[in-house]
Structure 1
Amino acid sequence: MDYLHLAVELTIGFAALFITTKILGKTQFAQITPFDFISALILGEMVGNAIFDEEVTIWKILFAIIVWGVLIYTIEILSQKVQSIRGFLEGQPSIIINKGKINYQALKKNKLDLNQLQTLAREKNCFSLHEIEYAILETDGSISVLPKHKYGIPTRADLNIPYKSIQLPIALILDGQLRKENLKEAGFDESWLQHQLSRQNITDYSKVLYAEWRGDEEELYITQY
């Protein structure tokens, strides 16, 4: 196979898969359901096998990707509109710990053993199954945990901490480049930013690796190269 022809097919196949994934949405690579996993796997195998088959043209590859993408997109729309088939396509969450008791039948149904359950629980900072009141196995294979009352983390309301508004941190400089849209969103201009930098003896954006503004602090958080 001609190397230039192979490079062209790889490039076009990559671009087609990338565009298809963007159209289908983020569930193709995050919070993957069994259906999403199969779809992504087949799309990749389809392009990989076709590229190294000299009898398959690039147009056939694109046609196969488009047809498969349309099928996936159609089923995704149906799962959003028709609730009766959503559980079949995406799966259903399962309660594997109910009121502090491990549901063995639910573990068996989902092919989950106790060692795997302990691993998933530790990922949620629960190092003892005894601390869990409810645990739900989600469709993407992770678990959601509701600890027992005495093991739960106290909230600000529990501690009677006075209310304080929360500000989302905004990155103003990344890799020495000013993010003008972020600066505008924060409600400042370059004069203000330059003044902030000068207070830390910085005269040029290019010297700043990262600069972040938080509404509850007067000074910027700045890291230089």
Structure 2
Amino acid sequence: MHFPYLDIIIRSVAVYFFMTIALRIFGKKELSQLNTADIILILLISNSVQNAMVGPDTSLIGGLVAALVLFVVNFVIKKLTRRYKGLNDLLMDKPEVLIHDGILDFKNLSRLDISHEELKEAAREHGLEHLTDIKLAMLEIDGTISIISGNKKQLNQTHYKRKHNHKNLRK
């Protein structure tokens, strides 16, 4: 017995895992703020993988099967990553410490390609003049920089949207 949409299901699952791995490799900072080029990239990627998922089947049912498979795979992955820590560690990013008790983590900053200027901008947005005033700064999994100050009057935990093209504009 041949299931006519089995090919679409297999292709859709493969594309889902490819995109998950690609986002994991390229990092969370890509998610922090979308600019025009990022939106164009997303549109082009979605158009290119659409053909990979449905193949020659351009019917409404074929498209709906592919979309349903993506929703189901995403749902199952979320359930499994909540249940199994090892799988969660493999697939999901973790927040990264940028500053702890006023001391910059240069290794993480370099690896994450976060400039000194971006940190100072995030600090200013939180009303802090010096990076040494920061108790904890984290790059969150959504690409934002969270800052907790050592100042008890200002426990402002708003998020700074990281603009990864900033450093190119300031040169």
Give TM class, smaller chain.
0.5 to 0.7
- Report the CA distance between 1:45 and its aligned residue: 1.6
Structure 2 unpaired stretches of 5+: 1-26, 32-41, 156-171
CA deviations 1:34-55 (Å, max 9, x no partner) are: 5xx6xxx58x8259956xx996
- Report the CA distance between 1:68 and its aligned residue: 1.3
Partner of 1:204: none
Aligned mate of 1:137, from 122, 135, 139: 139
SS in 2 for 1:153: coil
Structure 1 residues 50-199: aligned runs within 5 Å? 56-148=58-150, 151-153=151-153
Partner of 1:187: none
CA deviations 1:174-215 (Å, max 9, x no partner) are: xxxxxxxxxxxxxxxxxxxxxxxxxxxxxxxxxxxxxxxxxx
Q: TM-score, normalised by structure 1?
A: 0.42
1:113 and 1:152 map into 2 onto residues whose CA distance is 27
Partner of 1:176: none
Query: Are 1:121 and 1:143, in contact at CA under 8 Å, matched by a contact in 2?
Result: no
Structure 1 residues 25-64: aligned runs within 5 Å? 34=28, 45=46, 56-64=58-66
Letter in 1 for 2:125: E
Identify if the C-alpha distance between structure 1 residues 142 and 154 changes in structure 2 by more than 3 Å, giving closer, same or farther: closer
**Which structure is higher in helix share?**
2
SS in 2 for 1:139: coil
1:86 and 1:56 map into 2 onto residues whose CA distance is 35
Percent identical pairs in the alignment equals: 21
Q: TM-score, normalised by structure 2?
A: 0.54
* Higher RCO, Cα 8 Å, sep 6+: 2
Letter in 1 for 2:152: G
2:93 and 2:130 map into 1 onto residues whose CA distance is 27
Choose 1 or 2 for highest CA Rg. Answer: 1
Give the 4+ runs in structure 1 shifted more than 4 A: 46-50
- Report the CA distance between 1:121 and its aligned residue: 2.7
